[in-house]
C-alpha cells in the first residue's frame, strides 16, 4: 500500500515535469519563429547599403565598393563592429554604422543575409519567356573577376605558404578570416596598401600567443604582407583571380 501511495504522490510531479518541458518547448518554438521572422529583416537592414554595395551585395565600380555577397558572416560582423568603433576607418560608411547605430542583432542578421547570397561565375541561359527584370536580376548575380597576368607559379607557392592557413586553400576564408576569391582585385590591392601603410591591422588576431609574437615582430600589424615584395603581392593577386570556380 505504501508503495502505491508513493507512486501516486510521484505522478503529479512527473506530470508537472512534462507540462514544464511542454512549456519550454512552446517557448523554444515561439523563439524559433521570431528568429525566422527576423531573418527576413536582414534584407530590410541591408536596404540602405544596396546603394553602394549593389542589390545583390555584388559591390560596384570595380571595387570602390567591395563585394559582400558570399563573404563570411563572422568577418562581415567583425568589420561592421570595427567600423562602428572606428577601429577601421571608413568615411563613406560612418553615417550607416554610427547615426543609424546598427545594433549587434542587426549586424548579425545583415551579415547572415549577405553571407547566404551566392553569386555565379558563369552567365545564365535565358528562356524566351524571361522578362527584362528576371534577366537583370540574374545578371546582377553574375560576378566574374577579370584574370590578372603574373607569375602564377610564384603566386601559388606564396599563397599556399603564407596565406592559405588563414584564408583557406581555395581562398574562401575560414571562420572570421575573409574570403579573398571573387573579390575585386582593386579592392584587395587597396586593402593591402592600407595594411602596409599601417592604416589597418592585418593578421594579428589569429591566435593570442601567435599574435603576441607578431606584435613584437611587427608593431604596425603588417604581419606576413610586410615580408613580400610588390611583385610577390601582384603574383598572389594574379593567382587569386585563377581560383574562381
Binding site for ligand HEC (CB under 6 A): 48-49, 51-53, 64-66, 68, 71, 76, 78-80, 88, 90, 92-93, 96, 102, 110, 162-163, 165-167, 177-178, 180, 183, 188, 190-192, 200, 202-203, 205-206, 224-225, 228, 236
Cβ at position 120, least distance to ligand HEC in Å: 20
Nine-digit cell at 125? 541561359
Please identify, using beta-carbon distances, which residue of 138 and 187 lies nearer to ligand HEC: 187
Phi, psi of 120 (to 5 degrees): -90, 155
Query: How far, CA to CA in Å, does 84 sit from each of 20, 24, 110, 208?
Result: 42, 36, 15, 23
Q: Between residues 143 and 228, which has the closer beta carbon with respect to ligand HEC?
A: 228
- Nearest one of 127, 12, 140 to 69, comparing CA atoms: 140
CA angle 104, 109, 113 (to 5 degrees): 145
Residues in the chain: 245
Cβ closest to ligand HEC, residue 130 vs residue 153: 153
- Cβ proximity to ligand HEC, 112 vs 134, nearer residue: 112
Beta carbon of residue 155, minimum distance to ligand HEC (angstroms, whole number):
9
Rounded to a whole number of angstroms, the minimum distance from the CB of residue 141 to ligand HEC is 18
Closer residue to ligand HEC (CB): 166 or 238: 166
Q: At what angle do helices 104-115 and 73-84 cross, to 10 degrees?
A: 140
Nearer to ligand HEC, 33 or 50 (CB): 50
In the complex, minimum distance from the CB of residue 132 to ligand HEC, in angstroms, rounded to a whole number:
26
Q: How far is the CB of 51 from ligand HEC (least distance, A)?
A: 5
User: Nearest approach, Cβ of 37 to ligand HEC (angstroms)?
Assistant: 20
Amino acid at each position: 500500500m505504501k508503495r502505491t501511495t508513493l507512486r501516486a504522490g510521484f505522478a503529479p510531479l512527473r506530470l508537472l515535469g512534462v507540462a514544464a518541458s511542454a512549456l519550454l518547448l512552446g517557448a523554444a518554438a515561439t523563439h524559433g519563429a521570431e528568429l525566422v521572422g527576423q531573418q527576413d529583416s536582414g534584407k530590410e537592414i541591408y536596404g540602405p547599403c544596396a546603394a553602394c554595395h549593389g542589390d545583390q551585395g555584388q559591390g560596384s565600380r570595380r571595387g570602390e565598393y567591395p563585394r559582400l555577397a558570399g563573404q563570411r558572416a563572422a568577418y562581415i560582423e567583425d568589420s561592421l563592429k570595427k567600423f562602428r568603433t572606428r577601429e577601421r576607418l571608413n568615411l563613406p560608411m560612418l553615417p550607416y554604422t554610427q547615426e543609424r547605430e546598427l545594433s549587434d542583432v542587426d549586424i548579425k542578421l545583415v551579415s547572415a543575409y549577405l553571407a547566404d547570397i551566392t553569386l555565379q561565375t558563369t552567365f545564365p541561359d535565358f528562356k524566351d519567356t524571361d522578362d527584362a527584370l528576371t534577366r537583370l536580376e540574374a545578371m546582377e548575380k553574375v560576378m566574374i573577376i577579370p584574370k590578372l597576368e603574373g607569375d602564377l607559379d610564384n603566386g601559388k607557392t606564396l599563397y599556399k605558404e603564407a596565406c592559405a592557413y588563414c584564408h583557406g586553400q581555395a581562398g574562401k576564408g575560414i571562420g572570421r578570416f575573409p574570403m579573398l576569391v571573387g573579390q575585386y582585385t582593386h579592392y584587395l590591392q587597396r586593402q593591402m596598401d592600407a595594411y602596409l601603410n599601417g592604416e589597418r591591422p592585418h593578421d594579428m588576431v589569429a591566435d593570442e600567443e601567435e599574435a603576441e609574437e607578431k606584435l613584437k615582430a611587427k608593431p604596425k600589424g603588417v604581419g606576413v604582407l610586410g615580408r613580400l615584395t610588390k611583385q610577390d603581392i601582384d603574383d598572389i593577386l594574379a593567382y587569386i583571380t585563377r581560383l574562381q570556380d
